[in-house]
Every structure is written in structure tokens, then in C-alpha cells.
Chains A and B, each alone.
Chain A
Amino acid sequence: MTTKEKLRQANDYKYAGNISFHTKNYTQAMEQYSKAIICDPTNPVYFTNRALCHYLCKELELTEVDCTRAIELLRDCGFDADTNPQTTSEVPAAQKPLMSSLLKAQFYLGMSLFGQERWRAAIKHLKAAYPLCRHFNDPKLMVIIDSVRICERQLSQEVYERETHERAQLHTLLMGLLNKKFRASCELKRELHCSEEYDSLKAKYESNVASLTDIFSQVNEKKKKEHFGDPNALEDAPDYLIDPISLDIFRDPVITRTGQTYERAWLLEHLATSKTDPMTRGPLYASDLVPNIAIRNAAEAFLKKNMNPAP
């Protein structure tokens, strides 16, 4: 078989796979994509398609393998994982399928890592998928925002739990030392026959224990705020940092031609059913939207100050 014939056959297998995929027969689709990969192991699209089947069958490790391979192949084609979002709009039309493939590879890799609770790696790949989703106005944007937030929270939680445990150990150690010192002093006083000082020694000891406990509980409270943010602080966020659709603080705000600002993902969700500006009810298209960088920076600064999402 010539190379050309092989490529054609691979493509035929892919189409057969797509048909099975659309009838939700993922195992069958997977087999077809595997045959396509045997004929042409250099096409990243076959890998991302098979990855999606694996993902939908909850085979997270296999999803990871296929996505990683697709990303490698795409890198060989000049599509780096770090493709700058600002330059993606200049990508020639012929390369769009490869970009779309990169989006899927990064996204499903991120999601499979998320499913495996590998939070840090998941954040990296989901964040790499974000600018690509933005370029295609892909509704996966919302999943990314939510998942990244969960990952960051989990990471923060892990660090918090580890540190809390260490502090608890230190607390126990110090309590032991205080107690040891108290008992030694009592012993000494008894030997010197001044047992009437026992009460004052005991009072001193108890006040030390109370102070120490108080200090540790203050530190715990402070650390909790650092890791999980002050829930009240977010409610105090100024209105101009709040998306009018989700009532949540802005992450990726966009501005319309009439000057309204919305969270990109939620506005796109609304535009999917109604091409109108929710505030003015005038016509509005996804192509009209531009990032509102000033508000994004302000929201980031606010979050950094009050939330500290990732350690």
C-alpha cells in the first residue's frame, strides 16, 4: 500500500469512528480510531478523537496517554502548548482543525488529570485550553473556569491540612514542655517545703496553657482565611467587579460595543440562545466582544488580596 492509500484509509476509519461516536457507541468508535492510528500514527486528530471516547468511558489514564501523544504531535507541527492567545486570531484557516485538536487535547488531558485528583497538572492543561476555547467561543470555557477553581481550592486545602497538622503537633509538643516544667517546679518546691506556693504555680501554669491555646487558635483562624479567603470579603466586592449575570467576581470580563461588561463564559452561554445584550437588549454578537483588561486586572488584584486561591 502506498503512503497516500494508507492516509486515505486512515481517514475512512476516522469517518467510520465518527459515525459510531455520534450514535454513542464509544467502544466501536474507539476501535475505528485505533485502526486509523495504525494506518497513520502522525495525525493528532485521531488521538484526540480516541481520547474523547476514552474520557466518555471514564478511562482516565488512557485519555491522558492519547492526549499527551496528540500534544506531542501538534508540537511537531509547530503548535506549542504555550501558543500565545493573542496570536491565535492570525492562524490561517487551514490550521484551524489542528488548533481545535490542540484545544481538545489540552482540555481532555486537563479533565482526565482532574478526575485523577492531580490538581496542579490539571490546572496547567486546563489553563492552556482556555485561550483556545476563547478563540473558538467554545462553551467548555465554563467547565474550565469551574474546574480550575475546584483544583485551586483542593490544592489550597491540601496545604492547609498539612500545615494545620504540623501546627497541631507543635502545639502538643509545647503543651508537654509546659507541663513538664510545671511538674518539675512543683517537685522542687516540695523539696524546699514551700508547698503554699503550689497554688500560684498552678495558676501560672494554667494561664500559660490558655495563652498558648489561644495563640494557636488565632494562627489557625488566620491561616484558614489565607487559604480559603474571607467569605465576607467576596460579598464586599465592589459592584463594578461583579458580573451581572452570575453575580460572581469577574475572571475574564469582556466589554460590548455599548460599554457593558460581562463574564465571557456566561455571556456566550446567553448569546447561544439570544443574540442580544442582556442589559440594553440591543443586538450583540460574540465577534463584537473585546476583553476588558482594566476590570480583569482590578478583579485579579481584589482576588489576590482577599482570596489567595492558590498557594
Chain B
Amino acid sequence: MDICKRRLMKELSTAEKGLPSGLTLVSANDLTSWYIDITVDSNSLYQGQIYRLMFMYSPNYPMKVPNVQFVPDENRPIPIHPHIYANGHICLDILGDGWTPVQNTVSVCLSIQSMLAGNHTNERPPDNDSYVRSAPKYAQDSRFIYHDDSV
């Protein structure tokens, strides 16, 4: 649908003018997949480390949630967090049932940033090993249960 392309173009032109602190646009290939580097402010477990997020938009965006996950790279590990699996999949309500079309790429980044900044537990999710073994390629295809909002 046309709206998807138009909206992504608008988001991109805004992003190219400058992103909030801690976010860097790495690439936005033919609009439908973006890579964004993310850092977290000091005084957190993730101080001084850069992580890389991948966004994939379906033609139904923004009605449908984009697929968002961490992707590893040479010096870009997957952050250790009780809601982030070792394969980069993120368990966050706005990336599932909590998505609404007024959210956007930057607002998702900011949510992930604050999810990292507020965490003090240096652990993977309890079901990390079993999940990673059987997880689908894209986090979007998983059905997470958002049981714990305190972390």
C-alpha cells in the first residue's frame, strides 16, 4: 500500500535530519529494512557499548507492527537483558499486541533504549536456551507472553 512507502519516506527524511541522542541511522535499504545503532546513557549495564537494531517493514506498515530485533556484528553484541534472547529477539509489548499505528521507528528505539537503561539484571530470559533452539527466524513470528513489566 502507498501509505507504507510514504510514511517510511517521511520517517526517513526526519531521521536523516537527526535522531535523538544515542541513536544512529546506519542504513535504510529500499525503505523496507533499516539498521540503527543504539547506545544507552551512562550509569547502566550497557555503558560504552554499541548495539545494532534491525527494522523490517511489511507493506501493511504502520497498521502492522514492524519486525524489530538486535543483530550481532563484529563489535555489536546482543545486549544481555531478561527480555532479550541470545538470538536478538526482543520481548516487548509494543512489538507485538501493544503496537498501534501511531508508533514509529524512533519511538520504538526510545522504548528499547529505556528498557535497557532501566535494567539492573545481567541475565538472559529464563527460557532463553529453549526459545533460541526453536525460535522462528523473525521475532515477529513468535508469540511472547508479556508477564513481567517490572524489568
Contacts and interface: CB of A to CB of B under 8 A. Distances in A.
A81 interface: no
Nearest to B2: A146
A142 to B, nearest CB: 7
Nearest to B104: A247
A142 B102 CA distance: 18
Interface string B80-111: 00000000000000000010111010000000
A245 B101 contact: yes
Contact of B101 (A142, A146, A248, A266): A266
Contacts, number: 38
Contact of A278 (B3, B6, B13, B100): B100
Contact of A270 (B10, B63, B104): B63
B102 A235 contact: no
Nearest to A277: B100
A269 interface: yes
A273 interface: yes
Sorting the interface of chain A by its residue count into under 10, 10 to 19, 20 to 34 or 35 or more gives 10 to 19
B7 interface: yes
B100 A246 contact: no
Given A266-B101, A278-B101, A247 B63 contact: no
Contacts of A276: 100
Interface string A270-281: 100110101101
A8 B13 CA distance: 60
Contacts of A246: 3, 6-7, 62
A76 to B, nearest CB: 37
B2 A245 contact: no
Interface of A: 142, 146, 235, 244-248, 266, 269-270, 273-274, 276, 278-279, 281
Interface of B: 1-3, 6-7, 10-11, 13, 62-63, 98, 100-102, 104
17 contacts: A235-B13, A244-B102, A245-B101, A246-B3, A246-B7, A247-B11, A248-B6, A248-B7, A266-B3, A266-B101, A270-B101, A273-B63, A274-B100, A278-B100, A278-B101, A278-B102, A281-B100
Given A246-B6, A248-B6, A266-B101, 7 more contacts: A142-B3, A245-B62, A246-B62, A247-B11, A266-B3, A270-B63, A270-B100
